């Protein structure tokens, strides 16, 4: 069966795409009437709309990391220890992105102690096994190395 005739599963690394949007648009130009920054929400929504238009997926899931560490940080506390702190303007936007996904009927997935990369790999394998065309969207260096 050709790719265009198979169901398409679009998998997105939520925080990776949200950070890309956050750093790609000036935070001072996007905010709610109460001053909550929305540059990541706007950029994420725009990128999602473009992906949907360009690839017409039949199934979509956005994977998120949860706060609190993973099985990797339990084994190796220094894992990802060199990353910069998350900008305070970014943090309140993640729940807004998840709310937007819910409003659009897009599945947001997460699992305690696991990274979005782990979920993406699991869903990608399951999609392939089900005969789906699988597209993974992530700028995360760990994901890029794995694929």
pLDDT of 30 > 80? The answer is: yes
pLDDT, position 144: 45
pLDDT of 11 > 70? The answer is: yes
Dihedral sign, Cα of residue 24, residue 72, residue 67, residue 100: positive
CB 12 within 8 A of CB 62: yes
pLDDT, position 71: 59
Topology of the domain comprising 3-146: Rossmann fold (3.40.50)
Determine the Cα–Cα distance for residues 48 and 52; give it in Å rounded to an integer.
6
pLDDT, position 29: 96
pLDDT, position 138: 87
pTM of the model: 0.86
Determine the Cα–Cα distance for residues 42 and 23; give it in Å rounded to an integer.
12
CB 62 within 8 A of CB 14: yes
pLDDT band at 2 (very low <50, low <70, confident <90, very high): low
Q: Tell me: the pLDDT tens digits for 57-80?
A: 999 999 998 877 765 666 666 655
Taking residues 43-63, report their average pLDDT.
97
**What ranges do the domains of the chain cover?**
3-146
Q: Tell me: the pLDDT tens digits for 75-134?
A: 666 655 566 788 999 999 999 999 999 999 999 999 988 889 999 999 999 999 999 999
């Amino acid at each position: 069966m050709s790719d265009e005739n198979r169901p398409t599963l679009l998998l997105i690394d939520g925080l990776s795409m949200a950070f890309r949007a956050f750093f790609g648009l000036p935070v001072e130009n996007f905010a709610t009437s109460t001053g909550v920054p929305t540059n990541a929400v706007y950029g994420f929504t725009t990128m999602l709309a473009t992906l949907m238009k360009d690839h017409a997926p039949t199934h979509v899931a956005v994977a998120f990391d949860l706060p609190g560490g993973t099985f990797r940080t339990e084994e190796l506390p220094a894992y990802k220890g060199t990353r910069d702190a998350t900008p305070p303007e970014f943090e309140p936007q993640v729940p807004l992105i998840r709310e937007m996904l819910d409003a659009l009927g897009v599945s947001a997935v997460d699992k305690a102690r696991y990274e979005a990369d782990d979920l993406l790999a699991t869903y990608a394998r399951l999609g392939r096994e089900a005969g789906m065309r699988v597209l993974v969207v992530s700028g995360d260096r760990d994901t890029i190395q794995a694929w």
